[in-house]
Structure 1
């Protein structure tokens, strides 16, 4: 269907597609709900230290720069683990690798609740850094795994919304768990935050192994739904195929992921949006407490509004992208429009430097959150562009390079706050990433299309 398709024909095709989807079955949405819940808990586990950070730093005697280094420990390991995690997903499949990841990250979160038993402050800080490092390492297969599951279970025309849903789980994690974790910290102490989240993750792991599987062999998948998603471009039977063949990837093939101009545009865009993410899940609550004078209980409530806006932006961005594809727009343009618009809105975070009231700050952050959510279509782009034989590895490279921002951003903000005593320059640093992201998608990347790996580079 081209952009010049008559409206009547578009309506007929949309109705036919909707009727086919309805009659095919909807078990794929159960799988989507599973990765959505997994991502909610994944992000809540990452954010535990940002909520408990003020109490932890007080008990352990951490300076802002030291806390920034502890925050960055997760991202160092998360970046290191992306390519190996993607390779493991390609070799052993999402059910086994992702499931093991959930178990391990839950145990690691649980252990952080006991670092105060270490002998001395120095040992406690070292233990916390090490556990955050291990947490990042074992969580590394999660988002490449999400992208792999969406590629396997969803046709192209539904991937925008599907990826937006699991990507927007980060905001729901804030909505659901920030007030809860703030309450646990206030009433029982920061240690109970980690214990609660660790136990919740172990319960999730049991659900994962019960529900997850491959579309072609899953006992709950109907023949009609399988036919529908296959006809729409879903890479069904992907896990079974790689487990049977276990192909060896040559460096000459892998390096094409690093020499494609299109992929570098995607990687830089992900770096920029991830910088915004790490500001919100590390320093944002502390900014509200130390920079704006709010209490931890107030922050637990106030942080919900921007998160709700981010969640809404994510759903709207994914739905808009899929709608534009159904209207005949190319997938490339349909992905770029919400991303570039959202990154423009996210840059307004710097406006918080020019207002005095806390209500205005929350409103500005809510708009920036909405923009960041609107632009969260990067994983849909990966599903559309990743080589068929390297979906997990490509997702790992994408997420690994993007999450270098998780190393840089907390440390830079911590250094700026420690040296200037203010968050003003830190907000300029964060906001600049929105503009860089627009240039990456709009100028560097060019048209998005599936990368075809050649035998020899």
Structure 2
């Protein structure tokens, strides 16, 4: 199927006497900046943590509990967050999400009036609430991209907002480090909370459903809709009053679909690879390759940059293949499988002692992970219109479950074997599973159609 129908777009432009607008790219730019703030709030605890622990008298165990609070809430509230998105629409729920996570982040900066066990409880609760408030964010991003972009541009659009998770390190880590050093740990949460609140009016001004956006002309709307965009995805007031939200049977249908389950399990494995880099990669550089902590910190930033570049590359290449007439399935699977093949070269680090070789291999491996990390694009391609938010939440639940399991399993492997040799094989096994899922389980990538069962 050829998604981009140039004759239809030309006819719409001729009928309205106007060239099509490009508001959709402004919308995805807003999503990029919101996600930058989102990830900065997530990472704030790691940079503020040392000063917080010292001032409040917190132990390593205390900090471990505080660090875990966000992740537990983020996974637990995925499905409720997706349900709310489909029930009330992306703009309403995302706006509330931004407001709440910013307020809870701001309040964390005011928690210095307590110490010891009370401080642990207060900060744990606030970080738990930040995780709960942020839970609809990525499903909302995917839902908005599905409504605004034709299939021939959807890969690039999803790659843009997804790349913010890497870009946040570049944009906000220096700021947070400077704030913590100059003004204390409180200022990190205070400033980030205020940035989120300040950006909320921008989000509300610029992000709407395509069919209700005053800046979109008929030519752009026709272009998006003809290309497969779900321009009427959000319910209006009458529809919200008439319907009570997604049914439980819809969730059962998602979890009974071979295509959707293949996508979900692949996303679990993709995120597992990412969490190795986030949690254990610096430790690997210090313990296995005997780098200094300072050097390991600098080296660990290189894969993040490559992941950012790879993510944009994967989306761009996939969309280019669609524009050249390739089927949606092949256009998505080629970068995913190719990226995972490149990711597997990580295991070569087991067979070299050269620091330069290790850095290069890991950088190329994470570049491959970025290229193949198209789960959110595929979700936007396949999620049913009625439950696009819920589908994204299921995807994110599978994805972030690996954030709990991967660090723990890696720790046990290290304890049993005493080296990272088996760990690297464990990590690339996830890349192999991603390939197997897309080659033999997912099948044809297409919009999943719900059956209207009670």
Q: TM-score range by the shorter chain?
A: 0.7 to 0.9
Matched, 1:214 2:186: no
Q: 1:239 to 1:455 in 2, by over 3 A?
A: closer
Asked if structure 1 preserves the Cα contact closer than 8 Å seen for 2:384 and 2:450, the reply is yes
Q: Distance in 2 between matches of 1:407 and 1:175?
A: 25
Asked if structure 1 preserves the Cα contact closer than 8 Å seen for 2:339 and 2:371, the reply is yes
Matched, 1:455 2:445: no
**Aligned to 1:343, which of 340, 361, 366?**
340
Alignment of 1:17-36 (within 5 A): 23-36=19-32
Q: Which blocks of at least 5 consecutive residues in structure 2 are unaligned?
A: none
Partner of 1:179: 174
SS of the aligned residue for 1:30 comes to helix
**Aligned to 2:442, which of 437, 441, 445?**
445
Partner of 1:233: 228
Alignment of 1:355-370 (within 5 A): 355-356=352-353, 358-370=355-367
Partner of 1:402: 399
Partner of 2:81: 85
Q: CA deviation at 1:256?
A: 0.4
Partner of 1:147: 142
CA deviations over 1:361-407 (Å, ceiling 9, x no partner): 43333222211210121111111111121111111111112211122
**Aligned to 1:387, which of 384, 389, 393?**
384
Q: Distance in 2 between matches of 1:95 and 1:126?
A: 32
Q: How many residues align?
A: 444
Q: Distance in 2 between matches of 1:144 and 1:44?
A: 18
Partner of 1:44: 40
Q: Distance in 1 between matches of 2:143 and 2:353?
A: 45
Partner of 2:101: 105
Q: Distance in 2 between matches of 1:18 and 1:72?
A: 53
Q: Distance in 2 between matches of 1:128 and 1:282?
A: 22
Q: CA deviation at 1:323?
A: 1.2
Q: CA deviation at 1:338?
A: 1.0
Q: Distance in 2 between matches of 1:116 and 1:247?
A: 42
Q: 1:300 to 1:195 in 2, by over 3 A?
A: farther
CA deviations over 1:390-426 (Å, ceiling 9, x no partner): 1111111111122111222234445666788866655
Q: CA deviation at 1:118?
A: 2.8
Q: Distance in 2 between matches of 1:188 and 1:418?
A: 40
Alignment of 1:407-446 (within 5 A): 407-413=404-410, 426-446=423-443
Which deviates more from structure 2 when the two are superposed, residues 172-181 or residues 352-361?
Answer: 352-361
Partner of 1:6: none
Q: Distance in 2 between matches of 1:369 and 1:117?
A: 42
Q: Distance in 1 between matches of 2:281 and 2:111?
A: 24
Matched, 1:262 2:259: yes
Q: Distance in 1 between matches of 2:191 and 2:280?
A: 22
Q: Distance in 2 between matches of 1:67 and 1:417?
A: 22
Partner of 1:5: none
Q: 1:299 to 1:93 in 2, by over 3 A?
A: farther
Q: Distance in 1 between matches of 2:286 and 2:193?
A: 26
Q: Give the TM-score of the pair, scaled to structure 1.
A: 0.86
Q: Which blocks of at least 5 consecutive residues in structure 1 are unaligned?
A: 3-9
Q: Distance in 1 between matches of 2:449 and 2:354?
A: 52
SS of the aligned residue for 2:77 comes to helix
Asked if structure 2 preserves the Cα contact closer than 8 Å seen for 1:175 and 1:307, the reply is no
Which deviates more from structure 2 when the two are superposed, residues 268-277 or residues 184-193?
Answer: 184-193
Q: Distance in 2 between matches of 1:25 and 1:308?
A: 32
Asked if structure 1 preserves the Cα contact closer than 8 Å seen for 2:74 and 2:132, the reply is yes
Q: 1:18 to 1:413 in 2, by over 3 A?
A: farther
Partner of 1:60: 58
CA deviations over 1:203-244 (Å, ceiling 9, x no partner): 222211222112112121112211211221211132144536
Partner of 1:312: 309
Matched, 1:123 2:121: no
Q: Give the TM-score of the pair, scaled to structure 2.
A: 0.86
Alignment of 1:321-336 (within 5 A): 321-336=318-333
